[in-house]
Amino acid sequence: MKERAECEICGRYEYLEEHHLIPGIANRKISDKYKLTIKICRACHQNIHSKKELMQWSKEKGQRLFERKHSRRKFIEMFGRSYL
């Protein structure tokens, strides 16, 4: 389901897609559980999945979000490594 709102990356008013900040099938569920997701437009979403440096930004953002409420040790426990 799509909703029209502001993209969290470019700020465009668009139909948004949910992006899981930490990539990988196994990590998706954990990302859902801890709400490590952002709502972005299709163009930004394609960008993030095709550019290495943007995906790195995404992982770091995901970890920072996680560490607002939980410890780094816990992050490494869940995702197997630290991105920061």
Shortest approach of Zn ion to residue 71 CB, angstroms?
Answer: 26
The CA dihedral of 7, 64, 49, 80, to the nearest 10 degrees, is: -150
Q: Catalog residues that contact Zn ion under the rule CB under 5 A.
A: 7, 9-10, 19, 41, 44
Quick one: 35 or 74, whose CB is closer to Zn ion? 35
Strands 4-6 and 37-41: unpaired
To Zn ion, the closest distance from the beta carbon of 26 in angstroms equals 15
Closest CB to Zn ion among 32 and 77?
A: 32
